[in-house]
């Protein structure tokens, strides 16, 4: 689906949308940090994101990689910038061919600037954004939707603001679908810009570009560089607090949320945030505007679907990768048929390796190693390891090797139970609460949009000792509604189900549709997942310590001795999964 179709979808239901812009970092560490940020901000469900393109194609490889990964692994609709100055025909074709082959369907067509110093810049095949749009349309037809830039205060090279809008009209007539404006702080400039656009017959969506003020120095440099008009009231508010970074940031959020509300009242269809690859100010602004209340329920599935062609209709996944969705996508990227590629045929392909997953694995980065040592410490006992798991459930730390994202909102229903499990030697890595007919627009467990009902079987997955496992296997004999499957790193397996068992643990009922069962517990997939799950003990945790140190030996021992266990309470109405565990006496 092109971005214009998504914009029109929001217009049809009368809701504003928001979108984010990112730029390619210059270092590998910066790229890794951006991937983490993309992961978190994808959970806000933006209408789209856009990735910038360096002058003369200087960031071409990184821009293309970022754009592809954002669609593939984070389920984001991506618009890739493309500039024509300093770009040969060969380079333009290569960029667009790669974008097309990666499933990118929207391009921000810009003239761009020459690289600083203009050194080594080859002649430009195309020298204006209008000609770039026409060339794309001529050579790629309707493969790409096209966006263009707009300038509320006028382009520096334009003779006048009216002349600038006349040029914008030519870009729209050449085939642009919508306009994203240059950033501004004077709302009157945007209002007058809309009036000038209407006067010349521009009727496509015009999205205001917004930059939250994060620090005074950065704000000052930005406004001086761009020559943007800053209302006196903003200067008056900033001057007394210019040396207090926290107060400046808080003022920036207040100003940004106020501006956004006024822009929407002026008829803006949505809001485009220049994030500068940062997240907190943008997120707080959206929270103040109550635009995040239904972000989870905007998903069609409990998980973020990949936007890659061939996977858009995927509607079932094993639950084991719920907290490592990018890993699941990487391992199944070569599958040629979704959803039936895995679940509909005994001849379906097997899971691939994690060879394509390198960009998300950061264990050798010194900064990452230092951060993980702060999170997990250097444990000397199994209790200290268990404390790290309990702290993750409590939100005191935000990352474990098995959990790419912080604790999900639905987990708030069972946090105290999970903490108790961890304190008693059941190291939890995945779970979901029991749900019986919750509204599909419920903020914590909802998905699929309003009007339906959500059901979940209680599920918990953990590592534990053989002693604890044997006790559970005895107790499960007295609880027939509960199923259990355990396996060690060496492959020693115990299960109350057969090897072919596949059980739905999440489903949704919606008017006029068949029952949707997006999440399953599958015995075969669990055996594949266990290899990855156990490897993470060694590759992500043990690797932090010197060989044969006390912590190194402790993690090695847990890896070798513990079992990976999943437990399902099949009675989603009256069941109690935690009564299986000895630490919940009396339940």
Q: Specify whether 125 is located in the same domain as 75.
A: yes
Q: Specify whether 388 is located in the same domain as 506.
A: yes
pLDDT at 348: 33
Q: Specify whether 399 is located in the same domain as 529.
A: yes
Count of structural domains within the chain: 2
d(CA 529, CA 521) in angstroms, rounded, equals: 11
The helices-and-strands tally (H runs, E runs) of the chain is 19, 18
Residue 190 is assigned to a structural domain of this protein = yes
Q: Specify whether 245 is located in the same domain as 175.
A: yes
The DSSP letter of residue 469 is H
The DSSP letter of residue 123 is P
Q: Specify whether 251 is located in the same domain as 328.
A: no
Question: 549-567 burial, b for 16+ CB within 10 Å, e for fewer?
Answer: eebbebbbebbeebbbbbb
pLDDT at 128: 92
Q: Specify whether 327 is located in the same domain as 288.
A: no
Q: Specify whether 217 is located in the same domain as 361.
A: no
Residue 302 is assigned to a structural domain of this protein = no
Residue 298 is assigned to a structural domain of this protein = no
Residue 341 is assigned to a structural domain of this protein = yes
d(CA 290, CA 44) in angstroms, rounded, equals: 12
d(CA 7, CA 47) in angstroms, rounded, equals: 7
Query: Both tokens of residue 255?
Result: 């100003």
Q: Supply the range of the domain harboring residue 532.
A: 317-348+355-580
pLDDT at 358: 39
Q: Specify whether 494 is located in the same domain as 415.
A: yes
Residue 131 is assigned to a structural domain of this protein = yes
d(CA 419, CA 414) in angstroms, rounded, equals: 9
Q: What is the CA radius of gyration of the chain?
A: 26
Query: What is the domain-level CATH number for residue 115?
Result: 3.20.20.220
Residue 308 is assigned to a structural domain of this protein = no
Q: Specify whether 366 is located in the same domain as 447.
A: yes
pLDDT by 10-residue block (mean), the chain, 587 residues:
93 94 85 85 93 80 90 91 90 93 93 64 84 96 96 92 96 97 95 97 97 90 86 95 92 96 96 93 93 74 73 76 77 52 35 45 67 94 97 93 84 94 97 96 89 96 98 95 97 91 93 92 90 94 96 98 98 96 86
pLDDT at 116: 56
Backbone angles phi, psi at 4, to 5 degrees: -60, -40
Q: Specify whether 194 is located in the same domain as 100.
A: yes
pLDDT at 347: 32
End of a domain among 292, 309, 335? 292
| Residues catalogued as catalytic | 21
């Amino acid at each position: 689906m092109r971005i214009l179709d998504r914009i029109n979808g929001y217009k049809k239901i009368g809701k504003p949308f928001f979108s984010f812009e990112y730029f390619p970092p210059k270092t590998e560490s910066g790229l890794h940090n951006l991937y983490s940020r993309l992961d978190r901000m994808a959970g806000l469900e933006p209408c789209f994101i856009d990735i910038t393109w360096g002058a003369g194609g200087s960031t071409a490889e990184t821009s293309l990689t970022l754009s592809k990964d954002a669609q593939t692994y984070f389920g984001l609709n991506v618009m890739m910038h493309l500039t024509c100055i300093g770009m040969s025909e060969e380079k333009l074709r290569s960029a667009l061919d790669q974008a097309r082959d990666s499933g990118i369907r929207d391009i921000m067509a810009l003239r761009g600037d020459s690289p600083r110093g203009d050194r080594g810049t080859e002649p430009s095949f195309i020298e204006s954004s209008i000609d770039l749009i026409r060339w794309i349309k001529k050579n790629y037809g309707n493969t790409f939707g096209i966006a263009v830039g707009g300038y509320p205060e006028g382009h520096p090279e334009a003779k006048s603001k009216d002349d600038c809008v006349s040029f914008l009209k030519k870009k729209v007539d050449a085939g642009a679908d919508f306009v994203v404006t240059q950033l501004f702080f004077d709302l009157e400039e945007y209002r007058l810009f809309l009036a000038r656009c209407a006067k010349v017959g521009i009727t496509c969506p015009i999205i205001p570009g917004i930059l939250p003020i994060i620090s005074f120095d950065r704000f000052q440099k930005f406004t001086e560089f761009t020559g943007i008009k800053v209302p006196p009231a903003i200067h008056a508010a900033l001057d007394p607090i210019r040396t207090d970074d926290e107060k400046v940031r808080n003022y920036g959020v207040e100003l940004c949320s106020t501006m956004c509300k006024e822009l929407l009242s002026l008829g803006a269809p949505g809001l485009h945030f220049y994030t500068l690859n940062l997240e907190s100010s943008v997120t707080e602004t959206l929270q103040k505007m109550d635009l995040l209340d239904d972000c989870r329920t905007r998903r069609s599935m409990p998980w973020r679907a990949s936007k890659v062609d061939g996977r858009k209709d995927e509607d079932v996944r094993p639950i084991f990768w719920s907290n490592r969705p990018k890993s699941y996508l990487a391992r199944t990227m070569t599958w040629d048929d979704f959803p039936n590629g895995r679940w509909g045929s005994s001849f379906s392909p097997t899971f691939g390796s994690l060879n394509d997953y390198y960009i998300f694995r950061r264990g050798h980065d010194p900064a990452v190693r230092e951060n993980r040592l702060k999170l997990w410490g250097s444990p000397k006992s199994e209790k200290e390891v268990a404390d790290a798991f309990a702290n993750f459930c409590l939100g005191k730390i935000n990352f474990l090797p098995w959990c790419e994202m912080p604790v999900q909102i639905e987990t708030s229903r069972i946090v105290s139970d999970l903490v108790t499990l961890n304190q008693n030697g059941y190291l939890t890595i995945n779970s979901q609460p029991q749900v019986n007919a919750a509204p599909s627009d419920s903020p914590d467990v909802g998905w699929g949009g309003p009007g339906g009902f959500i059901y979940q079987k209680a599920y918990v997955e953990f590592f534990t000792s053989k002693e604890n496992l044997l006790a559970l296997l005895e107790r499960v004999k007295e609880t027939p509604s509960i199923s259990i499957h355990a396996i060690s790193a060496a492959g020693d397996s115990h299960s109350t189900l057969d090897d072919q068992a596949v059980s739905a643990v999440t489903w949704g009922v919606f008017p006029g549709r068949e029952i949707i069962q997006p999440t399953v517990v599958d015995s075969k997939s669990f055996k594949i997942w266990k290899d990855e799950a156990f490897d993470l003990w060694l590759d992500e945790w043990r690797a932090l310590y010197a060989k044969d140190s006390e912590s190194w030996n402790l993690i090695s021992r847990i890896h070798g001795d513990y079992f990976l266990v999943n437990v399902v309470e099949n009675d989603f109405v009256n069941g109690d999964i935690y009564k299986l565990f000895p630490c919940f006496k009396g339940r």
